Amino acid sequence: AYGCAQGADALVIVTEWDMFRALDLKRLKAALTEPVVVDLRNVYRPEEMRKHGFTYSSIGRV
């Protein structure tokens, strides 16, 4: 996951695999050129991602 994020402008989560549910958010943020995450599976809580400095969008969340 971190290798894919390295140098990317954004990360889009399209799977619910367990390996993506427990990412080291500090490491992820450092890998991305911009801390942008689009979560199509609602894996993370919006308030948690914003607390870690991400611009976070989730789809279909009420």
Number of folded domains that form the chain: 1
Per-residue pLDDT band for 31 (boundaries 50, 70, 90) equals very high
What is residue 2's three-state secondary structure? Answer: helix
Give residue 4's pLDDT band: very low, low, confident or very high (50, 70, 90): very high
Other beta carbons within 10 Å of 44? 19
Residue 30 structure tokens: 């450092």
Mean of pLDDT values over 21-44: 96
Average pLDDT of the segment spanning 18-41: 96
**pLDDT bracket for residue 1 (50, 70, 90):** confident
Beta-ladder partners of 6: none
**Domain that residue 49 falls in:** 2-58
pLDDT recorded at residue 62: 67
